[in-house]
Structure 1
């Protein structure tokens, strides 16, 4: 969805560009922003990765994205190496992304959203 991403969450996967965009949005120098993160015990790259994983987790349970393969959802948020994504997701959420998707009930549709239609066959 257009406009979904926040600073540092672009789809291009280039951490340097993402850090520059984050700095520009907050009118801060790169070095200063990194220092602020470090003072909080954080690392900019780890923060960006966590945000991307959270976006992927959200998309995996979104009924509007039910037809997208897991690797496409990961790539949508800049995580293009499937093995690394799967490992990072499992570490963060305790289960592989495909299993997480299968085990998580989809949330109810909100006004204006479409829900996938399940086709079933009727027996006479």
Structure 2
């Protein structure tokens, strides 16, 4: 019914090159998206570890600064994080933790987070 004009011999296979290029672009975008997702997950994990460590320290503050910081360190380690800093300022405890994880590509991603815990004050 419809006759298509013959293609020149040099254009044969050009669609294959375009398809390969599109697939390669999709793979690169997917890998980049995965790396961003893993970085965000590491950041959230570090923040969670810092929050729980500061709460553990605040809970043990009545036993002294050393005891509070030991409790914070134990809690950070339970959350696969490493305690970087622990300090007490009156009735408040500040902690900084770091978290490292292996990414799909075989590299290592790290994140650091800070949290503070202490008594709750109300304006009543």
TM-score, normalised to structure 1, is 0.33
Q: Which has the higher strand share?
A: 2
Work out which of the two has the higher radius of gyration on C-alpha atoms and give 1 or 2: 2
TM-score, normalised to structure 2, is 0.33
